[in-house]
Amino acid sequence: MRHSLTGLTRVGLSAAVIALLAQIAVPLPSGVALTLQTFAVALVGRLLGARQGTLAAAVYVAVGCAGLPVFAGLRGGFAVLAGPSGGFLWGFLALAACSGVGKGRAARCVLPAVGLVLCHLAGSVQYAVVAGLPLGAAAAAVSLPYAVKDAVSVVLALTLAGRIAPRLLPVYRGKA
């Protein structure tokens, strides 16, 4: 796969936006923080499209896995990905991909919701494994408290993307 310097720059800057918004966090007793990452991932996915949006989310996860403190609370390292909240980080790949695909209004609304469900499923499964809980109990602890906030975040991100895309996309996607 061939990438232009401009495309790689867009991906890198978008990964940095995700990292920046991850630092706006409110820790909760479950160990999974309330952050703006979901908003950022959906926004990046919609603006860049599925391929580059997913690549930006993957760069964010990889940089954090390498130890740079880009995850919520200025944390980094593989232990975060293997820890209680790591499944949500892996789930961001699905959210970015699903936010960036779709032709037609129905698909562009339904697919991000599917991505959010996949993100929460990945987060709940990993939390269940790490905490030794049944999946239902894990979902009640780490998915349900965030579901409404995350759904609103995705809707706001898609709305913002729709408003700024006409001005930003010719430059951001390299078509200007």
> The domain that contains 104 carries what CATH number?
1.10.1760.20
pLDDT in tens, 21-31: 999 988 777 66
Six token digits for residue 26: 């409110």
Facing residues of 75 across strands?
A: 71
Looking at the domain assignment, is residue 79 inside a domain? yes
**Is residue 24 packed enough to be buried (19+ CB in 10 Å), middle (13-18) or exposed (0-12)?**
middle
Question: How many domains does the chain divide into?
Answer: 1
Facing residues of 71 across strands?
A: 75
Rounded to two decimals, the pTM is: 0.89
Phi, psi values for residue 18, rounded to 5°: -60, -45
**Is residue 51 packed enough to be buried (19+ CB in 10 Å), middle (13-18) or exposed (0-12)?**
middle
**pLDDT score at 176:** 44
pLDDT in tens, 105-151: 777 889 999 999 999 999 999 999 999 999 999 999 999 989 999 99
pLDDT in tens, 139-172: 999 999 899 999 999 999 999 998 888 777 655 5
Looking at the domain assignment, is residue 113 inside a domain? yes
Looking at the domain assignment, is residue 104 inside a domain? yes
Looking at the domain assignment, is residue 176 inside a domain? no
Averaged confidence pLDDT in the chain: 90
Structural domain boundaries enclosing 160:
5-171
